[in-house]
Structure formats: structure tokens, C-alpha cells
Amino acid sequence: IVGGKVTTIESHPWVASIFWRSRFSESIFQCGGSLISPCWVLTAAHCFPDGPQTKIHRLSVFLGKNAINETDHNREQRFRVEELIIHDGFDNTEGSYNNDIALLKIIGSGGQCAEETTSVRTVCLPPAHKMLPAGIPCEVAGYGKEWEGSWHNSQYLREAKVNLLSQKVCTSKTYYGKMVTDNMFCAGSPGWNIDTCKGDSGGPLVCEVNNRLFLFGIVSWGEGCSREFRPGVYTRVTNYNRWIAEKTGLTSITLG
């Protein structure tokens, strides 16, 4: 996150962190994600460069984690990945990521899913195809870089406010043109000083409706970070309600 501030996991208790264990067994932070039900984390497809060939036994998912390089025995919950479902239509060949969405089924060492605590809880999904008007402020959170040229992720979870941009503006020539499809939307700040960045991928963009926070976007891509006319691009979650229901077996009742 560029231009944001350190926050706590209790303020964003659906934030998941996904780690990859290399052959030399060090754990590398890979991506963010969002807990949408006790057993399911929603993230970005591009977080898994090996696609369906990803060795899921090398993945770990943490919930309730404030810092990516510290173990918080009291709060964090750790999981293996039982299933990785990448959208069939994921396409990274057009210079952007279309259908950049994936699901992880998580399972704890005792066979359990996430337990709700003050640091761990699910986020609501908005109704299918619900659109918010341009200009609405929403919130992003992640452990990604604090500026484009940085060598490191942020050690602590960070948050920032970004405003939704209209599709018309974001697909205009000064912005991204046709690289932004109907499965994406853009969000940014008027001064171009606040944005998501590398390492925030897969994480949430949430917006408040009727005093509740809903997951409208998944951090997906952008040209650099915090560049003029190059806002952050997010997967449009409301295009995928049916896909999520089909793959997880969850209904609109359990997803609220």
C-alpha cells in the first residue's frame, strides 16, 4: 500500500496472507486474500504462476496475522490448502489479468476451518452485479510495498482509502483503454498518491453499504504504483457470485 498507514488485523479481520514454501523450505509471502466463509479464502488467480499445476502442499494460509515476519501465537490461525480453484477464464495474455480470481479451501492441522475471533472473521459479498457509483470511497488493505521501487513488502498490515473510478474514465485513452475489461474496475486517489502495490495482490477492496463492509474488489494489477493516470485495477467480485457459489457450494444465505 502506497500512502496508507499501519493498521491492525482486528480492523480487517478477513485479511488472509498466503505463503509459499520453497524447496529450501523458507516461507515466502506470496499474496493477500479475503476470508468469505470459514473454509474459503478468495484471492487473485495471478498469485499462482504455475496455475493448476501449483503444488498446493507448499502453500500456507494465515488468518489473524498483524505482521508477515512475526508469529503471533495468541492470535494467528494457520492452514494448509486443501483445494485451489483458479478461474478457467483467467487470461494474462492481453497485457492485463482477465478473470483474476481464485478460491482456496483451507484446513487446519486438526481438520478444522477458521474459528471466529476478534482477529478473524468473514467479509460479506455484495449481491450479484451490484454497482456502486464512481467517487465512492472504499478501503484497501495489504502487506505490499510502500512505494513502487521498494525492495520489501511492508512488515505490518497497512490500509488506505481509494475512490471508485467510472468505467468510462478508466477505459479512456489517457487511462488504460481496452486493457480494463468489464470484469475489472479501477480505484485511486485524486492526487495519485494513494494506491495498492506489488504484494497487495489478492487482497481486499471493501466498501461500506448500510453500515456494513462488503468485498467489491480483489487487488489485481496496475502499471506501477501511484502513477498518474495509472490507478489500481481490481477484479469485479460482483461478476462472480455464481462462480463462487458453484465452486464452494455456498449459497447467498451463507455468504450474506
Cite the active site residues: 46, 100, 201
* Comparison of 21 and 198: residue with beta carbon closer to ligand 4AZ: 198
CA torsion through residues 112, 116, 118, 123, sign? positive
* Comparison of 43 and 248: residue with beta carbon closer to ligand 4AZ: 43
Q: How many angstroms separate the CA atoms of 22 and 18, rounded?
A: 13
Q: Which residue is nearest to ligand 4AZ (CB)?
A: 222
Least Å distance between CB 241 and ligand 4AZ?
24
Question: Are 62 and 77 spatial neighbours (Cβ–Cβ below 8 Å)?
Answer: yes
Least Å distance between CB 196 and ligand 4AZ?
4
* Comparison of 120 and 164: residue with beta carbon closer to ligand 4AZ: 164
Least Å distance between CB 30 and ligand 4AZ?
10
Residue numbers at the binding site for ligand 4AZ (CB under 6 A): 195-198, 200-201, 219, 221-222, 225, 232
* Comparison of 39 and 234: residue with beta carbon closer to ligand 4AZ: 234
Least Å distance between CB 38 and ligand 4AZ?
27
* Residue (of 153, 152, 174) closest to 165 by Cα position: 174
Least Å distance between CB 256 and ligand 4AZ?
28
Cβ-based burial of 143 (10 A; exposed 0-12, middle 13-18, buried ≥19): buried
Cβ-based burial of 44 (10 A; exposed 0-12, middle 13-18, buried ≥19): buried
* Comparison of 92 and 167: residue with beta carbon closer to ligand 4AZ: 92
Q: What are phi and psi of 239, to 5 degrees?
A: -85, -5
Least Å distance between CB 75 and ligand 4AZ?
26
Q: How many angstroms separate the CA atoms of 253 and 232, rounded?
A: 31
